[in-house]
Amino acid sequence: MAKKNEYSAGAKLRILRELESGEGTRMEVARKHNISVQTLVTWRHRYERYGMNGLEIQARNRRYSADLKMKAVEDYLSGQYSQYELIDKYQMASRTPTQTRKTSTIDITAIKRLTREQTL
C-alpha cells in the first residue's frame, strides 16, 4: 500500500476522476495506484463533502474538544445517527472519536457519565 500522505490533493482528485470516468472498478483503480479501496472511498466521501480541502494532506491529527466528543457520543448512543452520519454532522476526520471498541479516555468518561445519568 502507498505510504500515508504520498498523494497530493491534485493527485487524489485525478485518481477520483479516473474512477468516475469508468476507467476501472474501485478495486482496479485502487490496485493501479497502490492504495486500498477504503482509501479511495474515503477520498471520494471527503471530496464530496468538503471539496478540495477534504483532499488536502493533514499535517497532524485533528483534536476535538471534550464537549464536541460528548455530544457525538450522546448522539451515537441515542441510536439516531450512524458513525458516518456523526462524522458529517461534527466534521470529524474519522470514526475514531465515536468508536467504542477503540475508546479514548473522553469516550469512556462520557459513556460512564451517560450510563449513570440514565440509571438515576
Q: Distance between alpha carbon 79 and the CA centroid of its chain, in Å?
A: 19
Nearest-5° angle of CA 11, CA 42, CA 80?
Answer: 155
Rg (CA), the chain: 17
Q: What does the domain layout of the chain look like in residue ranges?
A: 9-55, 66-119
DSSP track, 63-109? ---HHHHHHHHHHHHHTSS-HHHHHHHHT-SSSGGG-STT--HHHHH
Residue 15 has what pLDDT?
A: 96
Whether the predicted model's global pTM rises above the 0.85 cut: no
- Beta-strand ranges (E) seen in 1-40 are none
Q: Per-residue pLDDT tens, the chain, 120 aa: give them.
A: 555 668 899 999 999 999 999 999 999 999 999 999 999 998 998 898 888 888 887 655 667 788 888 888 888 888 888 877 877 787 776 555 444 444 444 455 666 666 666 555
